[in-house]
Structures are given as C-alpha cells and as structure tokens.
Copies of this chain bind each other. A is one copy, B any other.
Amino acid sequence: MLILQCICSSIKFYCFLMKKEEQFSGIAALRKGDDFFHPGMSVDCVVLGFHEGVIKILLNRYKGFKNWMLPGSFVFKDEDVDKAAYRILKERTGLENVFLRQFHLFGNASRKLVLKEENKNIFTESYGIDINEEHWFYKRFMTVGYYALVDFTQVRLNEGYEGETIEWFELNSNISYHFDHKDMVFKALETIRQHLSYIPVGRELLPDVFTMPELRSIYETLLGRPLDRRNFQKKMLSFGYFIKLNEKKKVGAHRSPILYRIDPVKYDLAQKSGIENYGW
C-alpha cells in the first residue's frame, strides 16, 4: 500500500520540476488524486538496458505486492503524456534525454485495480481512506506504454520511494509480472523488433565504447535468434560510422574483441540519408 508514498513523491517531484511552491500531503494526494491527475490514465515504461552480455529490464515492486510492475506514474493535469514518461525515467534512473517511444495504449475495460478485502483494510486502517468503487484510484485506468533504451552504466537507481524496490532483471528470465504488465512488455518487444531498422538500439543501449559481439548480442536478444557473426560485422561496418579503437576488451579465454566508438557526425548523417537501412 506504500504505493501512495510513491504517488506523493511523484507529486513532490513534479512540484519541484514545475517550480511550484505547494507541497501536498500524501494522504490528501491519494484522497483527492482527481485534483492532481488526469483521470483514468497512467503511463508505464518498459526500460531496457544492457549489462554483462544480456538485456535487462527495470521493474519495481511495492511492499505488500507479490509481483513486479513496470515503472509508471499518473499524468498530471497540465502535463503532456510524453513529459510524464520522461519524468518517470528521470525519477527512477536519474537520466534525462533518454530514447523513449510510445508504443501502445492499453485500454481494455477490465483494466482496474483489483484489491483483496484485506488490502482494502490496509487503506482504511493506515490512512483512514475508504477505497470504494467511487474512489478515483479504484476506477478503470487506461495506460499508455513507452519503451526506453538506456545506457546501463549511466543509471543510478532511485529507491527514494519508501516501500518501493526497484531492480534490473534479465529480460529473458522468468518474471512474475503484475496484472497485464507482461503483455505490455511483449507488445513493447514486438514494436521494438518492428522498428529495429530505424532505432539506434546499439547507440542507446551501449556505453560509448563497445565491442561488436556486444552489439550483436543486443540484436540477437531482441530478434530472438542468432545472427551470423561475420555477416553482422560486415553489415554494421558498412554503415561507416563506427570508429575502430586501438584497444581491445579482455573478456575470456579467447581472442579479445576490438573496441568501437560511434562517430556521432557520421552517425547523424547516416540516420538522415538512409533511415531504413538496418533490416535484419
């Protein structure tokens, strides 16, 4: 039920961002979320990073909840939906200017918080709030999904919300997702696969310096199938914006892979001219 701590933090954070003086009490926020938020609408983010050879997904969980959920938030009344997504990223990872794309609105009528009786009681007992059918928090919510590609090495996880745990999970591991969040991840990945030709997966997910095997493994994970090492390298290098460094990365009992950097100028040029040239 500590979910409201999060809501309160969100509100405080927003006030800070918006340079608003007001501070709202947490209980007031939950009691009268209608006053702050656009009704019946939330934003959830599928945040992907790359670390130790695998793609990871950022998930959080509130005390008392069994399953993991996508980092999300409500949308403030005077806040663009896109801005809300950026705010979520900033709140949880500290990152700004993240690569973020909307992928789907989930709008089934069945999307509403389901609380067991005992959980309702927690609301009543701890906060003196009667969570009934009429409560804003208990009504149908639509949620719009965004996916984010972030540089794992730059992320500083913010566990500032009391009662919230936030963690990286291996994308392809077995995760118990909250409600329909598994579907949302699936849809996000489907979208990413379709957009793979246009989006700068490598550039966003990798640190400045990386190896071709790392880059390839990203594509392999996202596509769900192995790619030919040689052909992959050939194709990537043919784009012309990779700078081969005079360094190698020691990663095991075998030859060390060469490190590369992306030439940002050439990269932007390539993006502009041949946006559709990443087909796999």
Q: How far is B59's CA from A17's CA once the two chains are assembled, in angstroms?
A: 40
Contacts A39-B39, A41-B142 known; list 6 others, CB within 8 Å: A39-B40, A40-B41, A80-B109, A81-B107, A194-B194, A194-B195
Quick one: which of B78, B102, B279 contacts A105, CB cutoff 8 A?
Answer: B102
Copies of chain A in the complex: 2
Minimum distance in angstroms from A192 CB to a CB of chain B:
13
Q: Mark A189-204, 1 if CB is under 8 A from B, else 0.
A: 0000011001000000
Minimum distance in angstroms from A102 CB to a CB of chain B:
6
Residue from A80, A81, A107 whose CB has the most chain B CB atoms within 10 Å: A107
Q: How far is B190's CA from A195's CA once the two chains are assembled, in angstroms?
A: 13
Q: A263 within 8 Å of B by Cβ?
A: no
Q: Is the interface of A mostly helix, strand, loop or mixed?
A: mixed
**A104, closest chain B residue (CB):** B102
Q: Do B107 and A77 have beta carbons less than 8 Å apart?
A: no
CB neighbours of A105 from chain B (8 A) = 81, 102, 105, 144
Give me 6 A-to-B residue pairs in the complex whose CB atoms sit less than 8 angstroms apart, sorted by A's number: A39-B40, A40-B41, A41-B107, A75-B107, A78-B109, A81-B107
Minimum distance in angstroms from A140 CB to a CB of chain B:
6
Q: A130 within 8 Å of B by Cβ?
A: no
CB neighbours of A75 from chain B (8 A) = 107
Q: Do A80 and B108 have beta carbons less than 8 Å apart?
A: yes
Q: A268 within 8 Å of B by Cβ?
A: no
Minimum distance in angstroms from A1 CB to a CB of chain B:
24
Q: Mark A8-36, 1 if CB is under 8 A from B, else 0.
A: 00000000000000000000000000000
**A39, closest chain B residue (CB):** B39
Q: A38 within 8 Å of B by Cβ?
A: yes
CB neighbours of A195 from chain B (8 A) = 194
Minimum distance in angstroms from A35 CB to a CB of chain B:
12
Minimum distance in angstroms from A5 CB to a CB of chain B:
25
Q: Do B107 and A142 have beta carbons less than 8 Å apart?
A: no
CB neighbours of A167 from chain B (8 A) = none
**In the complex, the 5 A-B pairs of residues with the closest C-beta atoms, listed nearest first:** A81-B107, A39-B39, A105-B105, A80-B108, A105-B144
Q: How far is B142's CA from A131's CA once the two chains are assembled, in angstroms?
A: 26
Quick one: which of B38, B39, B102, B109 contacts A79, CB cutoff 8 A?
Answer: B109
